[in-house]
Amino acid sequence: MKKHFNKTVFILCIGLLFMSCDTEQKTTVAINDTVESAEDFTIKKDSTAIKVLKLPVHIDSTQYLYHAIAIKRVAIDDDFSISKSRYGSYGAASTSYNNYTFSGEYAGFIVEDIQTGNKINVINEEITITSATIYNKLENNPRVEFVLYKGHNLDTNKDKKLNHNDLSALFISDLDGSNFTKLTEDFEEFNGQRFIVENDKLYFQTQKDVNGNGIFDSSDNYRNYVVDLTAPVKKAVRYDEQLMNITKQ
């Protein structure tokens, strides 16, 4: 009986050890307040990503074709040999396009104007896009058109690849693929957005790991931003502090 009890305790300890290791691996932030530049967290090439050009998609009511560049993931063993490959986001079977949204893992997009023949390479940096949603006049707002991208451009956990273990960021471009811009601040985790048609503005929220412990918890703060989509240059302006001050009056 005692021998069986000791064996059970040993198994539980081993299980807790693995759980602890797994939690540590999922840490998404390897930064603190001493970090001065995002350049330390950019990578020239994600060695686990192979870029594959998908067949084009025509965006309804526009003159644009979107040529998506999907990411084919390869798993690397400890000896850096390729062991297997897979398409899609976080091991999913495939990338997809549905209801004006690309989902999966993408390295970028090439937008082709079928009337003029002009082509624009939307993204000119190493980045992983997990979704791209097209807001055109037919489906959304007759006054503004734009594309929102969610993804990762900083290797915030320092594992030399860009995936869901890194901080999420929000980007925007014009419908023709020009003026690709990052809206979220570096080292802030993107939490969600809302497009208000009535005032042509985009609102989104982030969270920052202010204590530098690599975990988002109650000690970290949330930040709210607004973007005027009618402006020629899309810029995120923080507004939560101003509104919260009203509650203190």
Task: List, for residues 173-187, the tens digit of each pLDDT value.
Answer: 999 999 999 999 999
Phi and psi for 176 in degrees, rounded to 5? Answer: -85, 5
Q: List, as one string, the DSSP characters of 38-68.
A: GGGG--S--TTEEEEEPPPEEPTTSSEEEEE
For 48-59, letters b (16+ CB in 10 Å) and e give bbeeeebeebeb
Q: Which residues have CB under 8 Å from 95's CB, separation 6+? A: 54, 68, 70, 87, 88, 89, 102, 103, 104, 105, 106
pLDDT > 90: percent of the chain: 57
The DSSP bridge partners found for residue 86 are: 73
pLDDT of 16 above 50: no
Highest mean pLDDT among 48-52, 157-161, 190-194: 190-194
More confident residue, 147 or 212: 147
pLDDT of 101 above 90: yes
- Calculate ∠ Cα 120-122-128, nearest 5°: 150
Spell out the domain ranges in the chain: 37-190
Contact between 91 and 154 under an 8 Å Cβ cutoff? The reply is no
161-170 per-position pLDDT tens digit: 999 999 999 9
